[in-house]
Structure 1
Amino acid sequence: MMTGGLSEARSPTPEIQELVDEVKPTFEAKNNEKYEEFKAVSYKSQVVAGIIYYVKVHLGKDEYAHLKIFRPLPQTKDPVELMDYQMGKTKDDEVTYF
């Protein structure tokens, strides 16, 4: 993958689910809602000064959201950050740059 470019969509790994789990409290606080299900479905990544992950998350029933999660370089010791998200997504919506 080239620096700055968005990768192809991939199936989530345990590491991606851990990232999603880590930002779940922030996501729920911003939406003022609790989600029983919060499962990564697919993701793309972008290498910057760290990695930005664009993750499609199943929220239960027919609800999906796209999350933009930043993982800084390890040496910074900075925490993972939920940068942005998009609600109202469907199972078939492709995760794209936003």
Structure 2
Amino acid sequence: MMCGAPSAVQPATAETQDIADQVKPQLEEKENQKFPVFKAMSYKSQVVAGTNYFIKVDVGEEKCIHLRVFKSLPHENKPLALSAYQTNKAKHDELAYF
């Protein structure tokens, strides 16, 4: 993969679900609501000075949320950060850079 260019959309993996689960409390705090359903469906990644993950998450009731999560370089030893998110997405909405 080229540095800076997002990857193609891929099916979510156990690692993708783990990343989504780790930032779920940040999202719930920002949205002031709990998400009983929180299933990663697909993702893209982008190598920068660390890695951006764009993750499509099923939150139930035919709704999705798109997350942008930043994972710093290992030597920085920082937690995952929810950089941005988009609500009111449908399952058929394309996971795009934002």
What percentage of residue pairs aligned between the two structures are identical? 47
Unaligned runs of 5+ in 1: none
Show structure 1 runs of 4+ deviating over 6 A: none
Aligned 1:47-58 pairs, distance under 5 A: 47-58=47-58
Distance of 1:19 and 1:60 partners within structure 2: 19
Match of 2:73 in 1: 73
Count of residues in correspondence between the two structures: 98
| 1:65-94 deviations in Å (ceiling 9; x for gaps) | 100000001111011000000001000011
Report SS of the residue matched to 1:65: strand
Say yes or no: does 1:93 pair with 2:65.
no
Distance of 2:78 and 2:30 partners within structure 1: 21
Report SS of the residue matched to 2:33: coil
Unaligned runs of 5+ in 2: none
Name the amino acid aligned to 2:97: Y
Q: Normalization by structure 1: what TM-score?
A: 0.98
RMSD: 0.5
- State the shift of 1:63 in Å: 1.1
Match of 1:28 in 2: 28
Distance of 1:83 and 1:46 partners within structure 2: 13
Report SS of the residue matched to 2:29: helix
Aligned 1:35-46 pairs, distance under 5 A: 35-46=35-46
| 1:13-57 deviations in Å (ceiling 9; x for gaps) | 111100000000000010000011001000001000110000000
Report SS of the residue matched to 1:88: strand
- State the shift of 1:61 in Å: 1.3
